Amino acid sequence: ERTLLEELRDLPAQTSDGVMIKLVANIGSPADSGPALSKGAEGVGLYRVEFLFMETSEAPDEEMQYQAFKSVVDDMKGMPVVIRTLDVGGDKGLPYLALPKEENPFLGCRGIRLCFERPSLLLSQLRALLRAGVHGDIRILIPMISSLDEVRRFKKFLAEAQSSLENEGIAHAKELPLGVMIETPAAVFLAPHLIRETDFFSIGTNDLTQYTLAVDRQNERIADLFEQLSPAVLLGIKYTVDAAREAGKPVCVCGQMAGDVNSALLLVGLGVEELSMSPVHIPRVKNAIRKHSRVRLREIAKEVLGLATATEVKMKLEKCLG
């Protein structure tokens, strides 16, 4: 007899009025691909490579990264795999990088800023990504973007990685789709510009909440101020989604919010059609999406956007969605 989970796995995440929502997985290692598939993930929406870099006593070389990326795309059998370049710095250090201590690490040399500071670290990732791109649908995601200059600079590195592989006669994808994480208020405001020079957005609601509200996401003393459903965060999401839609390009949400049932439904109401989450949440979110129409979710989202506090938002969602 088939379990509810098995039945759900093979059903589409389709609203009751027929809108297809793509549910993809956040993973931290190639070993997570199997569980992601068994929960019904239609691809990987966020592969956090930090773990790959934490397992070793020195930075994993290009070959090791290539093997890890290839293993995920092989498992995903043609489904999209979004791989984010290294996002350390901030709270996450790596002993072998010997990062200097910073006064304000979350506002410091984190994510893409650190990769620009260590070009060989970035180039080995980009070469591995381009090589693995031969085997499947790899898309590159840049973390911690706060200006268009960073996107342009990243593209120069990507072109350099591509031409070095070309010159060495190593098999690689000529081009891969490039997306940016929208997780700083600057990236939100710049969304219409950023989307013109990139292929997709992925909204990181964890950091977007942290930076929008100026609330350290790990500080227990102010944990009650970390409100992902603050109207300030929701307006940022809405602005980002509208910018992507106007450009005709896809936008995914990959922060914690995507895996919470009521928040996920709100995101669908705001126009998001792709949600990336820890695989364990996929069945519950899918089940909820199948029970609601997008028309209704849109109405709810519209009302929510007029509310002034996170408490009001949560009460409204509970009242309308249960």
d(CA 47, CA 68): 11
Q: Is 320 considered catalytic here?
A: no
Q: Is 316 in the site for ligand PEP (CB under 6 A)?
A: no
Q: Is 48 in the site for ligand PEP (CB under 6 A)?
A: yes
Residue list 173-192, contact with ligand PEP (CB under 6 A): 183
Near ligand PEP by CB under 6 A: residue from 204, 259, 271, 279: 204
Q: Which does 254 bind (CB under 5 to 8 A by kind): Mg ion, ligand PEP, none?
A: ligand PEP
Going by C-alpha positions, the residue among 304, 283, 322 that lies closest to residue 228 is: 304
Indicate the residue type of 273: E
Q: Are 253 and 241 in contact (CB under 8 A)?
A: no
> Of these residues, 109, 115, 252, 254, which one is catalytic?
254
Near Mg ion by CB under 5 A: residue from 137, 207, 273, 274: 207
d(CA 297, CA 319): 13
69 CA to centre of own chain: 16
Place of tokens 């364990």: 280
d(CA 91, CA 297): 36
Q: Which two tokens stand for residue 228?
A: 């992902």
Q: Which two tokens stand for residue 290?
A: 């199948």
As measured in angstroms, the least distance from the Cβ of 264 to ligand PEP is 14
As measured in angstroms, the least distance from the Cβ of 207 to Mg ion is 4
Contact string (CB under 6 A) for ligand PEP, positions 265-304, x = contact:
----------------------------------------
The response to whether 217 counts as a known ligand-binding position is: yes
Q: Are 40 and 10 in contact (CB under 8 A)?
A: yes
Residue list 20-79, contact with Mg ion (CB under 5 A): none
Q: Which stretch binds ligand PEP (CB under 6 A): 75-83, 119-127, 203-211, 314-322?
A: 203-211
d(CA 141, CA 201): 8
Q: Which two tokens stand for residue 74?
A: 């092989």
| Residue closer to ligand PEP (CB basis): 165 or 190 | 190
As measured in angstroms, the least distance from the Cβ of 250 to ligand PEP is 16
Q: Is 111 in the site for Mg ion (CB under 5 A)?
A: no
SS3 of 33, please? Answer: helix
Q: Are 3 and 21 in contact (CB under 8 A)?
A: no
How many residues can be counted in the chain? Answer: 322
Near ligand PEP by CB under 6 A: residue from 206, 239, 261, 284: 206
d(CA 264, CA 284): 10
Cα angle at 281 between 29 and 133, to 5 degrees? Answer: 35
The response to whether 183 counts as a known ligand-binding position is: yes
Using CB under 5 A, list all residues that contact Mg ion: 183, 204, 207
> Residues within the annotated binding site?
48, 84, 183, 206-207, 217
- Residues with a known catalytic role: 254
Using CB under 6 A, list all residues that contact ligand PEP: 46, 48, 87, 183, 204-207, 254-255
> Residues within the annotated binding site for phosphoenolpyruvate?
48, 84, 206-207, 217
> Residues within the annotated binding site for Mg(2+)?
183, 207
